[in-house]
Amino acid sequence: MNNIILIGFMGSGKSTMGRYMEEYHKYKLIDTDEYIERWQSDSISNIFSTKGEAYFRELETECIKKLIDSKTENTVISVGGGLPIKSDNQKLLKELGKVVYLRAGVDTLVNRLMDDDKRPLLQGGDLRNKITELMAKRESTYETLADVIIDTDGCTTEQIFKSIEEKK
């Protein structure tokens, strides 16, 4: 399938890039978090607090399966930061398109996520520690799964887009 799948940590710019590609470069856009919120008529935070993370992870897998079954093409698909971690999902993402990892350093992520109150996994406690610990668990999976890795620190959205187009 000829889609572009954007993976990366929370705050790495996946949603921003997806919206940019939709607005300026005629891609169709699907954001898995938004898809799940619409489908469930509920917010991610509320799903986490009422039904738990494991339930949310099942919804993520269902979401990716639905995109494959509905033969999604020519689309940029921005996926939640934890979605690629589940091994079942890795095979599905590869089937769905080219996997592009938007890599960002901890300083960048801390700056972007400092005032965030929408990501349940980052609420309470020291933000830098939380990001560092979660990143240590996830980074090698992101890198192994990616067909293309883009280092995004200090880059504009346009520069990152050009790198995606060159390397995809």
In this complex, which beta carbon is closest to ligand S3P, that of residue 27 or of residue 35?
Answer: 35
What Rg do the C-alpha atoms of the chain give, in angstroms?
Answer: 15
Task: Output helix, strand, coil percentages for the chain, rounded to the nearest 5.
Answer: 60, 15, 25
C-beta closer to ligand S3P: residue 15 or 90 = 15
Specify the 3-state DSSP secondary structure of 114: coil
Rounded to the nearest angstrom, the gap between the alpha carbon of residue 46 and the centroid of all alpha carbons in its chain is: 19
Among 37, 42, 82, 108, contact with ligand S3P (rule: CB under 6 A): 82
Kind plus residue range of the DSSP H or E element containing 54: helix 53-69
The beta-strand segments (E) located in 69-147 are 75-78, 97-103
Q: Which two tokens stand for residue 17?
A: 């890039």
Among 121, 129, 153, 156, binds ligand S3P (CB under 6 A): 121
If one asks whether residue 5 binds ligand S3P (CB under 6 A), the answer comes out as no
Pick the closer one to ligand S3P by CB: 57 or 94.
57
Q: Minimum distance between the CB of residue 15 and ligand S3P, rounded to whole angstroms?
A: 6
Q: Should residue 145 be labelled a site residue for ligand S3P when binding is judged by CB under 6 A?
A: no
- For binding to ligand S3P (CB under 6 A), which residues are involved? 10, 14-15, 33, 44, 80-82, 119-121
